[in-house]
Amino acid sequence: MNHTNKIICIGEAMIELSLSTDSSLSLGFAGDTLNTAIYLKRLMGKDAEVAYCTTLGNDPLSPKLTDFIESESISTAPIRYSLDKTVGLYAISTDSSGERTFSYWRSDSAARTLFNETGSPDFSRLEDFNTIYFSAITLAILPANVRTAFLDELDAIRRNKNTTIVFDSNYRPALWESEAVARETVARAWRITDIALPSVDDEIALFGDKNESAVLERLQQYGINNGALKRGETGPLSLNSNSGADPKTRYPAAIQVLDTTAAGDSFNGGYLSAALAGKSDSESLMSGHNCASMVVGFRGAIVPKDDWSARSKPDT
């Protein structure tokens, strides 16, 4: 891959408050698509230009969030700012096994005006990119009319410009008007997706599939033939039946699990960093798994730069 590969990740970036088991509190920045953008850029380095697209607020923390994104060598040019709203916030508490519980303050966040900051949907900031990454959370926070227009725009860009569309069905029931709306919207997104990054748990929760095989069958019906089905510690499964990836591959367990926050997001970053660089599906799957295995060994969504650099980068 050359340096002209330009990737835009779209969604909601938030303030992260992390409460550890000793009751200490730390402040950070995260969000599902932002987490993926950061790990993607860290792994690809100069081999890709990565930009982040969201709407932030008129508050003291929004500029600090912008600075944080830029500190990861990610372009903030597509970010817009609301004059009368604030950035969203969430808190995480984790138990002794690393499982996390979330509390959110995001119902009226600035990100909910994304693409509609002036009262009329505007997607012009997407035009200069050849890969577009978003999630079901991106869709869930948009008003229904903007959501529909956004999917229409992606469909047109994909057909007219041969842009690669990457989607993760990160299902959060509380963000949707109803399960039926979520199901219809996510199904439509799958039909315009080139690289699919679903998790088996989310798909079963939303669509009521009986098992993993039923999930795979339904995804194939959408026309999906590229990407990975995330299965947690079991390891990923290729969605490309002709990839040559062995479905019986044994994936190494994480050295330690302190916090499973961003496990799926970091997998996406690792997988895409390899896939967009032209590596094999087997290599991409292992890259995603290794990245996630490293990230769950740290608290919070983003591994500090010093710790990231101190360990060998997740790779095949």
Going through 156-221 in order, the beta strands assigned E by DSSP cover 164-168, 195-196
Catalytic residue among 265, 281, 307, 315: 265
Catalytic, 265? Answer: yes
Going through the chain in order, the beta strands assigned E by DSSP cover 6-10, 14-19, 25-30, 49-53, 55-56, 80-81, 89-94, 100-105, 131-135, 164-168, 195-196, 228-229, 237-238
- R_g (Cα) of the chain, nearest Å: 18
Sign of the torsion formed by the C-alpha atoms of 72, 126, 173 and 57: positive
Kindly give, in sequence order, each residue whose CB lies less than 8 Å from that of residue 163, ignoring residues fewer than 6 positions away.
129, 130, 131, 132, 157
Answer whether 269's CB lies under 8 Å from 39's CB.
yes
One-letter amino acid at 290 equals N
CA 188/CA 152 separation, integer angstroms = 10
Write out the two tokens for 108.
């009226």
CA 96/CA 255 separation, integer angstroms = 15
Sign of the torsion formed by the C-alpha atoms of 131, 133, 139 and 141: negative
* Cα 23 off chain centre by: 28
Pairing of strands 228-229, 80-81: unpaired
Would you please indicate which residues are annotated as catalytic (active-site) residues? 265
